[in-house]
Structure 1
Amino acid sequence: MSALRAAAVLLLSLIVPTCTGEGGNCSCDISNSRCDEFGVCRCDPGWDGERCDRCALTPGCVHGSCEQPWQCTCASGWAGRFCDKDLSICSRQQPCHNGATCVMEDSGDFSCLCPEGFHGPTCQRRTGPCYLNRSPCKNGGQCEDGDGFAAELTCRCLAGFTGRRCETDVDDCTMKPCANGATCLDGVNRFSCVCPAGFSGRFCTVNLDDCASRPCLNGGRCLDRAGGFRCVCRPSFTGAACETPLRGREPGWTTLGWDGGGTSERSAAPTSSGGNSSRHGDRLLKVTVSERRGGLSEPQLIVLLVLAAVTLGAVVLTAALVLQGHCRNCGHAPCWTSLTSSRRSRQRAQECHISFLNAAEPEKKKLNVV
């Protein structure tokens, strides 16, 4: 470790100005710095340089110098806190317009003495309609007259206002931004929507979940709707919230239908013989008929048609085979080849019928003999 320390001290002595010792033997400016144990100058705040003999300027100082830290002493021809104001601006740049006189001030700024009929920081504005009429624009509108050189003034309105003098508030509800029957309230360059029950959001487009509070009773299923809900009740309950049991109805009436939505349509008719109610002893039995509508779907209809076609084909084929067998027994050609003539068909049918009867008589005789 001692060898490493000695090497570090030797390297620093070659690169950085060293101190020859303590007190008066140190080469650093002892009033602005000190020597550390390695002989390196450590500057006080506000001083800089190898020997800590250079003061630091005020941050932002442009044309200045210092004798003490954080000073900004302006050079000749410059003024201001940061020495950034040119004292010869009136003679070199002539910033004043329309024949105005430029005057330098002690702070380093300049001012313009405007001639009659002109005004403004550099006398660039003419005494025009806006200056004479004291800006007739309303609702914060800006008066413009081309720096006084225009014959007539105009008003540049703020957002939300219109008109020659910005006197008219724009109706922000013209485009009907509120949805679902909400009420639009016009404001200054804005609008607001008063949403109906069941909706929220800036434009009333968010449908609130009316089933969040679980309004359906007795195991009913809640269906959320736009601005409301619908309860699908169990078969034994009815009502808007499925709160009414069906057994609480008057005896002697029949329920002919149930829409399953918390409400039921009831068609009542007095019970009579042959109706939907009957008596067992002295008790009246109530019958609830659920009316359901149904029909064949398209795939079922196609299958039915295919089966009907297959059945019809089988019937036709069977009839043709039977007819061909009878015709062969008669000793004639197949029957379908002779169907071109209706007369021949009738004759052959009669012959086949007679031959069939003649063939049947010996059988009857045999049976009688036996």
Structure 2
Amino acid sequence: MAPVRAGGVLLLLGCCFVLHIPPSAGQGSDCTCNMTNSRCDESGICRCDPGWGGEHCDRCVLMPGCVHGSCQQPWQCTCEPGWGGRFCDKDLSVCSSQQPCQNGATCTMKDNGDFTCLCPQGFHGRLCQRRSGPCHQSRSPCKNGGLCEDADGFAAELSCRCLAGFTGPRCETDIDDCRMKPCANDAVCLDGINRFSCVCPGGFTGRFCTVNLDDCASRPCLNGGRCLDLAGGFRCICQLGFMGNTCDTSLSSNWTTRGEKGKGKRSSNMTHHGNRLMKVTVSDRGGAGLSDVQLIVVVVLGAVTLAVVALTTGLVLWGHCRNCSSTPSWSRTRSQGAERSRRRGRSEAQQCQISVLNSEPQKKSNMEAV
């Protein structure tokens, strides 16, 4: 019986513990939240409605940007004394405390909290700081968007501040951007407004036409020719037996054109060497005989040559015989020298006579033999 009683007591105590639920903090009288602007959660913490803040949700939220203001309801900006404007950021005492207007102008306040200056005659501007000078009195003479300047009206004469690309007293002249010749490689420069553009020749590109295009990229050389990239062009170095700008012409096919009157074969080919045009002509003369005119010329030249040779031989022999028959004369400045000269002359004469005598029998013997 004792164990049964103990179990019953434990069961009764468990039921009492389950049925006992503590009262919620939000539902009891301990919740301090403003029940109009918030509510209490299960933990007793105030959860504010939009536009309200604070620990007990009793403080309204100001309008965003409100500087010197307060609120009674959310998103309000009620300005404090001395401040105005939508955000209470305008000082209503600016005219009396700061006196922003210049040159004797009258400062007045507007309903929105701003101030305005009533300028006296001859002045203008927000603070009446500008004088009615040449730019204000007449229409601006500056052209092409130039700004008229007269030192806020205090200058005796106006001036123009020009935009980029223009010059002159009234900005009337467009600056020649091609004056410095910015385009390279003989490109054409086109002037614009504060700009220029280059029209590049063939083989070049880039803003200033300084980039050389690879003219050999397309492989223009045929028949195994080697391509050399040049400035604004290319050149092909052809293999043996080919020619032309792209090595497309075979030399064997050009030796087919006959020359005049069948005297030989002549072929002509046009090729480009860099930027120059070169004409190559190959001529082959056959072994035909001489013409009548050429034969006459050869005979005349042969006769003239023989005549010149005969005349030269006769002059040489005549000079030799004259030296043998004449006695040399010497100046007789000294007696001893003259004697020696006479002796030498006699000996040479004797030798000449002996040679003549020796030659005559030989001629006779020859004649007798004949």
By the TM > 0.5 criterion, same fold?
A: yes
Structure 1 Cα separation of the partners of residues 201 and 65 of structure 2: 61
CA 1:25 to 1:254, structure 2 compared with 1: closer, same or farther past 3 Å? farther
Q: What SS is found at the alignment partner of 1:210?
A: coil
Provide, for residues 306-351 of structure 1, a one-character-per-residue CA deviation record: whole Å limited to 9, x for no partner.
Answer: xxxxxxxxxxxxxxxxxxxxxxxxxxxxxxxxxxxxxxxxxxxxxx
Structure 2 Cα separation of the partners of residues 265 and 150 of structure 1: 75
Question: Is 1:230 matched up with 2:235?
Answer: yes
Select the residue among 143, 158, 162 that pairs with 1:157: 162
Structure 1 Cα separation of the partners of residues 129 and 221 of structure 2: 78
- 1:73 alignment counterpart: 78
Structure 2 Cα separation of the partners of residues 234 and 24 of structure 1: 112
Select the residue among 60, 65, 69 that pairs with 1:60: 65
TM-score, normalised by the number of residues in structure 2: 0.62
Structure 2 Cα separation of the partners of residues 87 and 69 of structure 1: 25
Structure 1 Cα separation of the partners of residues 60 and 156 of structure 2: 60
Displacement after TM superposition at 1:67 (Å): 2.2
- 1:167 alignment counterpart: 172
- 1:97 alignment counterpart: 102
Q: Comparing 227-236 with 246-255, which one deviates more in the overlay? A: 246-255
Q: Comparing 190-199 with 25-34, which one deviates more in the overlay? A: 25-34
Displacement after TM superposition at 1:97 (Å): 0.9
Structure 2 Cα separation of the partners of residues 23 and 45 of structure 1: 24
Question: Is 1:207 matched up with 2:224?
Answer: no
Is the Cα–Cα contact under 8 Å of residues 234 and 260 in structure 1 kept in the other structure? no
Select the residue among 30, 36, 41 that pairs with 1:31: 36
Q: What SS is found at the alignment partner of 1:98?
A: coil
Runs of 5+ consecutive residues of structure 2 not aligned to the other structure: 1-23, 257-263, 288-370
Structure 1 Cα separation of the partners of residues 251 and 56 of structure 2: 106
Question: Is 1:128 matched up with 2:142?
Answer: no
Is the Cα–Cα contact under 8 Å of residues 244 and 272 in structure 2 kept in the other structure? no
Give, as a single letter, the amino acid of the residue that structure 2 aligns with 1:164.
P
Q: What SS is found at the alignment partner of 2:282?
A: coil
- 1:335 alignment counterpart: none
Provide, for residues 196-218 of structure 1, a one-character-per-residue CA deviation record: whole Å limited to 9, x for no partner.
Answer: 11111111111122222222223
Displacement after TM superposition at 1:132 (Å): 1.3
Is the Cα–Cα contact under 8 Å of residues 63 and 82 in structure 1 kept in the other structure? yes
Q: What SS is found at the alignment partner of 1:184?
A: strand
**Identical columns (%):** 70
Is the Cα–Cα contact under 8 Å of residues 232 and 260 in structure 1 kept in the other structure? no
Is the Cα–Cα contact under 8 Å of residues 61 and 82 in structure 1 kept in the other structure? yes
Is the Cα–Cα contact under 8 Å of residues 255 and 266 in structure 2 kept in the other structure? no
Give, as a single letter, the amino acid of the residue that structure 2 aligns with 1:194.
V
- 1:109 alignment counterpart: 114
- 1:178 alignment counterpart: 183
CA 1:265 to 1:119, structure 2 compared with 1: closer, same or farther past 3 Å? closer
Question: Is 1:198 matched up with 2:213?
Answer: no
Is the Cα–Cα contact under 8 Å of residues 245 and 272 in structure 2 kept in the other structure? no
Structure 2 Cα separation of the partners of residues 33 and 111 of structure 1: 46
Q: What SS is found at the alignment partner of 2:252?
A: helix
Displacement after TM superposition at 1:61 (Å): 1.4
Write out aligned runs for 1:39-58 (5 A).
Answer: 39-58=44-63
- 2:282 alignment counterpart: 268
- 1:145 alignment counterpart: 150
Q: Comparing 53-62 with 161-170, which one deviates more in the overlay? A: 53-62
Q: What SS is found at the alignment partner of 1:269?
A: strand
TM-score, normalised by the number of residues in structure 1: 0.62
Count how many residue pairs are aligned between Structure 1 and Structure 2.
Answer: 252
- 2:89 alignment counterpart: 84
Is the Cα–Cα contact under 8 Å of residues 198 and 226 in structure 1 kept in the other structure? yes
Structure 2 Cα separation of the partners of residues 193 and 177 of structure 1: 8
Displacement after TM superposition at 1:55 (Å): 2.2
CA 1:23 to 1:159, structure 2 compared with 1: closer, same or farther past 3 Å? farther
Give, as a single letter, the amino acid of the residue that structure 1 aligns with 2:141.
P
Structure 1 Cα separation of the partners of residues 74 and 192 of structure 2: 58
Structure 1 Cα separation of the partners of residues 166 and 113 of structure 2: 43
- 1:324 alignment counterpart: none
